[in-house]
Chains A and B, each alone.
Chain A
């Protein structure tokens, strides 16, 4: 049932992208509004799908690659909706829509049967740890994108300073928004590790990599605020930060088997 719902959600996201594209050609403002509403209704359905899976599985649905990626796509749209509301970040609509479609495209063929949780994952910490991390990841992914656009624009049209300034500030706001979520995710993970194994920090590769990711963004925020890194250096650091995030999320799982390997 919930997998069907996910397929429908995918269809709706595809539809909203089509309308967004149509709007780009016709420059019709009401079309953009319509596409936005479609995207948001897709998000509501997406939320419903996660809730339904939660209900069906009788546990938080954040335990394997299928569930992780469904949540990842969800987090990206959530961050987009928040930022569109706060900062009117309309130009992100199409890239975000494409990004989630790509993620969903990889998700749909994955093994989607509900598998029971192994003992170590049966904990009330799982929801806050995973959800905060993914909202953080969502913000940092979009920041990665805006930083890349910044770097591309800088190469192609360095005279467009107002766009560059906007992109740079938007990347900063996204990282600044994502960082508290990363922090809550990391500290709840550590607290949980202490409940499960009696050790809040054991330097396993996943822990170490999450700390490195966190430190890279600490570095970004400090360099920006205290050293005035508000140009391409900040954009490069945002790119590096996202690559470490990606490595922490996916890369480590290939090196070490264990709790965090979403197989």
Chain B
């Protein structure tokens, strides 16, 4: 009885109508588009404003009524109903994130302990301590380095992804070369002793061995100083493209809350959880390698959003499969009926 009343109630019918849904779609698309165009610092004024919030509430209401109607009056289309409800679940999860989620950053140097994090609303205490035991930054080297070769008399220009220890015959010439050594931070000490000043690629250099019928020589190539790399044989020129790429950076931290202690390693794409907070590796400073920044998040909405995602995907895939099946039952050739 109540349902029939609901069906006949004009206001409810209007709010849950497809017409309102379509208008809301258009408005949300337009607002999102404008938001993408404005500078980043103003985006919060759109996406986290009260009127955008109201827009989403209206959309949720429309979707909710529409889903109720589907549930009772179109029970056969349950997969489509799951899809619509899943969007509500995602919206609910994001509301929970917005109202109850906390996020901020922790910054520290090795050996330093923090018991709070910096959020937009100011300093927030953690009910445990975090000690940064170690921070480590690794580079891809030297396996991704490129060596460009130019042989004057033959007019040959080639480029090699030179793996150390492997010999490369330069096609079209009689030259053969091989990378002997890689130093991330080349330094010449007294008595011409060559060392790497650090593990950081501040001055990447490789030593190569060049062989030709006319002789043999060794030559240092510097990524940052291509003009320095000259050798005895003026006929052949090498350029070392040693643009360093970061492989990984990780923090080893010790959590302690009086009762228990835990030693954990936090890497990009592998966050760590402790007492309801999740820690993400985000920042480093190439000039100050004992320093790091972690993102700290406590978000009770994430789980809800992910349930929504699973329902959304399942719902949409089911809608598709059901439709395909129905089409096949109706006609042999799905398209041309």
Contacts and interface: CB of A to CB of B under 8 A. Distances in A.
Interface in B286-337: 295-297, 299, 302, 305-306, 309, 312-313, 316-317, 320, 323, 333-336
Contacts of A212: 29, 32-33, 36
Interface stretch (A73-81, A94-102, A221-229): A221-229
B268 A219 contact: no
Interface in A204-251: 205, 208-209, 211-212, 215-216, 218-219, 222-223, 226-227
B28 interface: yes
A87 B334 contact: yes
Interface in A187-205: 187, 190-191, 194-201, 203, 205
Contacts of A226: 18
Interface string B9-24: 0000000001001100
B47 interface: yes
B73 interface: no
A222 B278 contact: no
Interface residues of A, number: 49
A26 interface: no
A179 interface: yes
A119 B268 CA distance: 6
B280 A196 contact: yes
Given A119-B268, A195-B269, A219-B22, A183 B312 contact: yes
B103 A198 contact: yes
A196 B29 CA distance: 27
Given A200-B305, A227-B18, A211 B268 contact: no
B282 interface: yes
Interface residues of B, number: 52
A123 interface: yes
Contacts of B22: 219, 222-223, 227
Q: Which of A116, A119, A166, A190 has the most CB of B within 10 A?
A: A119
A115 interface: yes
Give the top 9 A-B pairs by smallest Cβ distance, nearest first: A119-B268, A198-B297, A187-B309, A198-B280, A208-B36, A116-B140, A87-B335, A123-B269, A198-B295
8 contacts: A118-B245, A119-B249, A173-B335, A176-B323, A215-B28, A218-B25, A222-B21, A222-B25
Interface of B: 18, 21-22, 25-26, 28-29, 32-33, 35-36, 43, 47, 94, 97, 103, 140, 143-144, 146, 161, 245-249, 267-271, 278, 280, 282, 295-297, 299, 302, 305-306, 309, 312-313, 316-317, 320, 323, 333-336
Given A120-B268, A179-B316, 12 more contacts: A87-B334, A88-B335, A89-B335, A116-B143, A116-B245, A169-B335, A173-B335, A198-B278, A198-B280, A208-B36, A216-B29, A226-B18
